[in-house]
Amino acid sequence: MQKILVANRGEIALRIMRTIRNMGIRTVAVFSEADRNAPHVLFADEAVCLGPAPSSDSYLNGDKIITFAKELNVDGIHPGYGFLSENAVFAQKVTDAGIKFIGPPPSAMRIMGSKLAAKECVKQYNIPMVPGLDEAIEDIKLAKKVAGEIGYPVLIKASAGGGGKGMRVVEKEADLEEQMQRAVSEAISAFGDGAVFIEKYVSSPRHIEIQVLADEFGNTVHLFERECSIQRRHQKVVEESPSVILTPAIREKMGAAAVMVAKACNYSSTGTVEFLMDDKLNFYFLEMNTRLQVEHPVTEMITGLDLVEEQIKIARGEPLSFKQEDLSINGHALELRVYAEDPFNDFLPSIGKLEKYVIPSGEGIRVDDGYTEGMDIPIYYDPMIAKLVAYGKDRNQALQRMRSAISHYIIEGVSTTLPFGAFVMEHPAFVSGNFDTHFVKSYFAAAHLKEAQEKKARMAALAVLRYYLDEQEKLKPVDNRSTSWKRRLS
């Protein structure tokens, strides 16, 4: 491959292009009219404008991207995550255009892209699954009957879903109808497919996923787990690897199950098999994400692999250069997603200009970002500013480095999840490892952040007063009794 187009924006486009360039391959960026100044455009060897800011007119316009790719003699297209990354139709069109799609085969994307088809596909492999109805449901009466049989609380999920969109927890029958309508309408707007299904809502669940890597010759390995239980609105904010609660035996069992899921759909490239784990360490297959995940850096930190490089090698038709027994976990890594959101106000999006933007650095600290000082956070796209990753020889060191990095990350102009990250990294439940996906609901209230903020504000008050009084002192005449001063002043 001589030239690769990255069909994405922001931090992930930049992160992918860095690896491409390191491999001696030319990079092509695509961008919308809102992103002309974005770092991913400034970084690339070549760049093409796709159209107006809304995603549907730009980053989601697969046909336009393929047309440009052909004009520019591109050999491969990397979709990143989000946008077209899990769109099997796009992957097929890329392939049909004679360009290599850097990702899994379209057939695997089609199966895993539908949660229902995915369940069907892995059924014969004895992989444990959450109780529920394995088919799309529309009729509210039937939904009520099914939910009653499984027992409340139940979870309504969009079949085409991901990232918490189109997903609703229903505590009691009275709420089912309204929540189902919301889920269907969210699913239609986000995925163009309103099919939803119902399953048992596992209480005290942990979200643990296994990274898999497969070449085109059927060699499949797993790169251990990522613990992603710290979520808000069903979306991950903090991830880590390894998980504190997995024993080597369970890790091996989950790894083997994940490899089986990948093999079941003839997978190649990077993929993630998500599991739900209950408080007794039983795990259930949730879904497979057929893309590079946002949180892939924690896996890179503990394995020493560059997952984008592996994807490109696999796409070039090379076999994996290692086997499962060659892989081991080295150290501990944590990731905090820095979103332009207000944790003091229910994590609502916070849009604005990055008046000040200074990233932390230091041993074991990695920042994947796609913004620079003075840039606006556009309302059209995902509000993630950066991924802050901290690596250490053990979890304590990684935690300490993360805390220090958060306190050196300066962002002015928008609210971010940084204060929330500081809260998590200090919280006894997180520090001890005894937490589940209800962490935010159970422990977090804006009042906690407010308390921590008030302490800092008090320090700020003292400092500015001291500064002010010192300045006042300077303005005073050196000696009030000096007659010469008086004379001169008068």
Partner 1 sequence: MEKNSKQYQVKVNDFVFSFTQNEVMHADIVKQSPNDFHILQNNSAAHVHIMDADLSRRAFKAVVEGEIFFAEIKNELDLLIDSMGYTDAASTKLTSIKAPMPGLVLEISVKPGQEVSAGDKLLILEAMKMENSILIQDSAVIKSVAVKPGQAVEKGQLLVELE
List, by residue number, the catalytic residues.
Answer: 291
Q: Which residue has the tokens 């609502």?
A: 348
- ∠ CA 257-260-85, nearest 5°, is 100
Q: How far from 223 is each of 68, 120, 148, 226, 438, CA to CA, in Å?
A: 35, 25, 39, 9, 26
Q: Residue 266 phi/psi, 5° resolution?
A: 50, 50
Shortest Cβ 143–partner 1 spacing (Å): 19
State the residues that interact with partner 1 by CB under 8 A.
165, 182, 185-186, 189-190, 233, 345, 348-351, 356, 379, 381-383, 406-410, 412, 418-419, 453-471
As a whole number of angstroms, the distance between CA 486 and CA 490 comes to 6
Measured from the CB atom, is 212 or 386 closer to partner 1?
386
Q: How far from 229 is each of 339, 353, 368, 442, CA to CA, in Å?
A: 17, 30, 21, 13
Buried b (16+ CB within 10 A) or exposed e, 223-238: bbbbbbbbbbebbbbb
Shortest Cβ 112–partner 1 spacing (Å): 21
Helix (H) or strand (E) holding 448: helix 446-475
Which residues lie closer than 8 Å to 485 by C-beta, 6 or more apart? 477, 478, 479
Measured from the CB atom, is 6 or 406 closer to partner 1?
406
Shortest Cβ 91–partner 1 spacing (Å): 22
Measured from the CB atom, is 107 or 453 closer to partner 1?
453
Measured from the CB atom, is 279 or 355 closer to partner 1?
355
Size (the chain), residues: 490
Helix (H) or strand (E) holding 144: helix 140-150
- In angstroms and rounded to an integer, the radius of gyration of the C-alpha atoms of the chain is 25
Measured from the CB atom, is 328 or 480 closer to partner 1?
480
Q: Which residue has the tokens 């980053």?
A: 59
Measured from the CB atom, is 10 or 106 closer to partner 1?
10
Shortest Cβ 419–partner 1 spacing (Å): 7
- ∠ CA 330-331-332, nearest 5°, is 130
How buried is 275 (Cβ within 10 angstroms: 0-12 exposed, 13-18 middle, 19+ buried)? Answer: buried
Shortest Cβ 450–partner 1 spacing (Å): 8
